[in-house]
Amino acid sequence: MKADRKTAAHCRNLFLGVFCAFILGLLLTGTRAAAAGDVLLRDSAGIFKKSEKEQMRETAQDLAQEYNINVLLLTSDQYFGYGRTSVMYMEDLYEDEGYAENGAKGGLLFLIDMDNRELLLVTDGIAMRFITDSREEAIYDAAYGPAFVGDYGGAMLAMLYRAANFMEQGIPGGQYLYDSETGRISRYRSLTPVEIGFSALAAFLTAFIVTTVLKSRYKKVKPYEYAVGQNADCRITAQRDDLANQFITRRRLPRANISVGGGGGRSRGGGGGTRTTTHRSSGGRSYGGGHGRRF
């Protein structure tokens, strides 16, 4: 009896230790994630007011810290050259200045291109999961009005606030990435830290209860020996199997019908608002967004 009590106490202590270590690991992971994202505000076109810049930095820093992403707020009034687009400019800057390798989980890149009079949003990493094609269009919708009347600071803030709102809503159910160059689809499947914690706790409790019950039952079983030499009887006879008839039936199986829409041009959120169309940069990195909206 005393041995059983010691065993039960040891198991309880072991469980508490493992569970506390698991929770501590989650907390430490969240702390590290909150410090990695960077913010860049580069108003090369000189179209923002000082007060607007302060608002942009504050909101961008909140996003970077909460979701461990880089947030770049850019403007430009230059001609990028023949064959070079605004999207290429954003992606090259992101990669050349080290944001792609700084340990963040992704990035939001906003640009107001005054030369082409265009609003642009490009997403990287985990941000591609949050900002689907339809959400990207909703962000342009929010900024188009201010940009059209010349309120460019208001347009950038509108894009930033709308993106922050979508990040807060979370990744939509059924979200998937659609590679516009290869047609490959990557669906999002993930468990939250809370779900993982409850699953681990439930599994441990179930295993502990089953082990305890089985252990108590086996203690009550009396040993029994079976006299094989006296009671067993084994006779082996010849047996033959003949294959009489064989038929092969073939049927064409229907392929799954997945509607992914077109790859290029402007997207209006195909796939029920769960698709993010991706493309490759000149450096070979995968990005979402970049459809743009003229004003």
Q: Is the pLDDT of residue 195 over 90?
A: no
Residue 80's pLDDT is 85
Q: pLDDT tens digits for 41-78?
A: 999 999 999 999 999 999 999 999 999 999 999 999 99
Predicted TM-score (pTM) of the model is 0.65
pLDDT digits (tens, 9 = 90+) for 152-182: 999 999 999 999 999 999 999 999 999 998 8
Domains and CATH numbers, the chain: 34-180+263-294 (3.10.310.50)
CB 100 within 8 A of CB 265: no
Tell me how many helices (H) and strands (E) the chain has.
Answer: 8, 9
Residues recorded for the chain: 295
Q: Quote the Cα angle for 64-200-103, to 5°.
A: 25
pLDDT at 133 over 90: yes
| C-alpha span between 206 and 208 (Å, rounded) | 5
CB 63 within 8 A of CB 108: yes
pLDDT per residue as tens digits for the range 257-274: 333 333 333 434 344 489
Task: Tell me the pLDDT tens digit for each residue of 206-227.
Answer: 767 767 766 676 666 666 677 7
